[in-house]
Structure 1
Amino acid sequence: MPRQQQAATRPPRRRSYDQFCAAARSLDSVGDRWTLLIVRELLAGPRRYTDLHADLPGVSTDVLASRLKDMEHNGLATRRRLPPPAAASVYELTERGRGLLPVLSALAEWGAPALDERRPTDAVRAHWFALPLLRVLDGTTHAGVVEVRLDEGEFHVRAGGGTPEAGRGAGDDAADAGGGARESPVGAAVYGDGPAAHADARIALDVEACLALGRGELTLAEAVRNGRAEVTGDGPLAAELRGE
């Protein structure tokens, strides 16, 4: 009788620069194409696989699945099942994964000058502009949720400290606003896609003004004074953003 053949198992692909260097070790985990952009999406809170694929135009399903598996293996993300009635699996960042926020913010600041012109092939999502605005809003005296409206859509961020405080976080507002799978533990989400259910201030502006704010070429108070932005709201945060 012929011997029963065992199923061949492919050894995991080894991705390492094999250098005793902190930068090289970091790139071992996040240096693959798409990984940091997946982190950008998950900074908005837990996401379903289908939602991630929709907001990462250009990534194949195989590559996305592979990167998520690598992120789980490297301790950057976890997958969990939402309780009924959602009954869906979502991916979310671990504490180590959320620690990449300053890295993404620095990359966004460094790359901002390259956004001088939108190419015909460029996709765009409103919440991609959250990262530069986080730095702008981080130093506000008053904390709260700020809803931002662009022609491309809406998103919301937490002003004051850059991350949600105890109580309601940016991810909580995303869930209330219909985000569903984006409900997250307090402190997990630093911004959210879509309108905020409970906003302390609202900003309406165009992409050019938003980019100028992120590059430090314009302050929000200046943008309000010269008509490039409108801030609405009655509380102290809205007044501060208006420069009052």
Structure 2
Amino acid sequence: MSPRRSYDQYCSAARALDAVGDRWTLLIVRELLAGPRRYTDLHADLPGVSTDVLASRLKDMERDGLATRRRLPPPGAAYVYELTARGRELLPVLQALGRWGQAGLGERRPTDAVRAHWFALPMLRQLEGEGLVEVRLDEGDFHLYVGAGDGAVYGVGPAPREPDARLVMDTGTCTAVARGELSVVDAVRAGRVEVTGEGTPAKALREG
């Protein structure tokens, strides 16, 4: 395990950056906000990270109390990483970074990787109520736990049960939402999002 690097400054922002300021750390947090993930899944959804760097960052996160590693019971029998309560407290930090970064998102470059669930956090910022929301895109599906107080805030793939709301849209619409150019409510009004379901998130969108 690499020695802890520090700015050696008595400042809460500096202390925070001691723990999460290294390249890739906050993106690993983004992935683990989906709940427990295997190392191979993390590597697949973090294109560009080397295996050595990913392993090093995960060890650092364990040391700093942001993540834990545990073995799944049979028949899974695989190791997974998951955020601790302190790690989950980084959600509003990522949300704030996402809002700040909207202006620099621009058009997708040919070299830009994309995963459907990377739209989960910007989408989550705009949904009201509580419940399970499934989002279907051209790129794939993901689901959101709107109003969740603990645990995972989103998941990769279709919802694990019948969702309280299902949103179907094309990737262009979802990209416009992620860039801050279009709200979900306005996209629904414009007929660019199909909303089904009877939960509070669905009703809030239809009545918005």
| Native 8 Å contact 1:132 1:211 kept in 2 | no
Q: Which residue of 2 aligns with 1:149?
A: 136
* CA radius of gyration, larger in: 1
In the TM superposition, what whole-angstrom CA distance separates every residue of 1:202-227 from its partner, at most 9, and x where no partner exists? 10112332243345543333212212
User: TM-score, normalized by length of structure 2?
Assistant: 0.93
Q: Which residue of 1 aligns with 2:120?
A: 130
Q: Which runs of 5+ in 1 are unaligned?
A: 1-10, 165-186
Q: Which residue of 2 aligns with 1:188?
A: 151
Q: Which of 178, 185, 196 lines up with 1:232 in the alignment? A: 196
Instruction: Give the Cα–Cα distance (whole angstroms) in 1 for the partners of residues 187 and 39 of structure 2.
Output: 38
Q: Which residue of 1 aligns with 2:78?
A: 88
Q: Which residue of 2 aligns with 1:202?
A: 166
User: TM-score, normalized by length of structure 1?
Assistant: 0.80
Residues 233 and 12 of structure 1: CA distance in aligned 2, closer, same or farther (over 3 Å): closer
Q: CA RMSD in A?
A: 1.7
Counterpart residue identity of residue 191, structure 1: Y
| Native 8 Å contact 1:135 1:214 kept in 2 | no
**Equivalent position SS for 1:231:** strand
Residue 51 in structure 1 maps to residue 37 in structure 2 = no
Overall identity of the aligned pairs, in %: 71
Deviation at 1:119, TM superposition (A): 0.6
Q: Which runs of 5+ in 2 are unaligned?
A: none
Instruction: Give the Cα–Cα distance (whole angstroms) in 2 for the partners of residues 99 and 150 of structure 1.
Output: 28
Q: Which of 185, 188, 203 lines up with 1:221 in the alignment? A: 185
In the TM superposition, what whole-angstrom CA distance separates every residue of 1:144-167 from its partner, at most 9, and x where no partner exists? 1010111111101022x2x25xxx
User: Map of 1:96-107 to 2, 5 A cutoff?
Assistant: 96-107=86-97
Q: Which of 80, 100, 117 lines up with 1:110 in the alignment? A: 100
**Equivalent position SS for 2:55:** helix
| Native 8 Å contact 1:220 1:242 kept in 2 | no
User: Map of 1:15-94 to 2, 5 A cutoff?
Assistant: 15-94=5-84
